[in-house]
Amino acid sequence: MPKIKERKIQILKLIVEEYLKTGEIMGSKNLLKKYDLQVSSATIRNDMLSLEKMGLIFQPYNSAGRLPTNRGLRVFVDYLMEAMPAVFIEAEQEFEKKLDQNRIDDILYGLVARLTKITDEITFACIPTLGTSYYLGLSSYIERHHGVLGEEMYQVIKCLENKHQFIDFLQSLDISPRVSAFIGEENIIPELETSTMIVKKIELSGFVGYLGILGSTKMDYAFNISALRQVL
């Protein structure tokens, strides 16, 4: 990878991480003040202009600062998918390879409960052919975002409670057995166009299903991706 490309990726990564942590707009001077990038402010401004032309960052108003676009978040998540080591979650014993069908419900619920405990996000699991579906973490999510999300929170609840529509939606997506992420309008149903869904395909006793996390576009992507990779 050429050095110039590495630097632009690094700058995008820093802008996204600052946005996720603080919501702050980042300019070239702030980046140089907080991070040892070993280049001039003019160089950073040129790289930011290039990232803006690529549709990865934008100026919310007339200032030198930038915020990531959903496309920028997409690139950031793709980078995490390829580069992020699985170092966040403690190792546990593997589930038994052969599971009795009458244990699938308990296992799905256990997966969702554990994933919610780890991430403190809304999590879900389902087996479409069995019509089995669970989700947890909604009350905690509402408590954390009370008074902020408003209509968005209602739409998320509406989507989760329509179990058959949600399962059909999952089956229509190209979901990887590793991890896939759908940010903002990448979710094709209107109820989730302001949310991020991180999901992977799972298999229990020969039944194919899905396990995932649903939350704000400002979620902790690095931690949640690692959690979902390792929970099963």
pLDDT per residue rounded down to tens, the chain (232 residues): 344 467 888 888 888 988 998 888 888 888 888 887 778 888 888 888 888 888 888 888 766 688 989 988 988 888 877 765 443 333 333 444 444 556 788 888 999 999 999 999 999 999 998 888 899 988 877 777 666 556 667 778 888 888 888 999 999 988 988 899 999 889 888 888 888 999 999 998 888 999 999 988 889 999 999 999 988 7
Q: What confidence score (pLDDT) does residue 83 get?
A: 62
Other beta carbons less than 10 A from residue 95's beta carbon: 13
Q: Mark whether 203 and 113 lie in a shared domain.
A: yes
Distance, CA of 41 to CA of 144 (rounded, Å): 37
Rounded to 10°, the helix 41-53/3-22 angle is 80
Q: What confidence score (pLDDT) does residue 147 get?
A: 60
Q: Is 181 a member of any domain?
A: yes
The DSSP letter of residue 141 is H
Q: Mark whether 120 and 22 lie in a shared domain.
A: no
Partnered with residue 181 across adjacent β-strands are 198
Q: What confidence score (pLDDT) does residue 220 get?
A: 92
Q: Is 61 a member of any domain?
A: yes
Total domains in the chain come to 2
Q: Mark whether 41 and 147 lie in a shared domain.
A: no
Domain edge (last residue) among 23, 55, 83 = 83
Write the DSSP string, 173-220. S---SS-EEEEGGGSSSGGGTTEEEEEEEEEETTEEEEEEEEEETTS-
Residue 41, domain extent = 3-83
Q: What confidence score (pLDDT) does residue 179 get?
A: 93
Contacts of 152 (CB under 8 A, 6+ apart): 194, 195
Q: pTM of the full predicted structure?
A: 0.68
Whether 76 and 221 have beta carbons less than 8 Å apart is answered as yes
Other beta carbons less than 10 A from residue 101's beta carbon: 12
> And the tokens for 27?
């300019």
Q: Mark whether 64 and 116 lie in a shared domain.
A: no
Q: What confidence score (pLDDT) does residue 223 get?
A: 95
Distance, CA of 83 to CA of 100 (rounded, Å): 36
Helix (H, G, I), strand (E, B) or coil at 78: helix
Q: What confidence score (pLDDT) does residue 100 get?
A: 58
Q: What confidence score (pLDDT) does residue 64 get?
A: 66
Q: Mark whether 148 and 210 lie in a shared domain.
A: yes
Q: What confidence score (pLDDT) does residue 192 get?
A: 85
Question: Strands, E, within 55-172: which ranges?
Answer: 57-58, 67-68, 122-127, 132-136
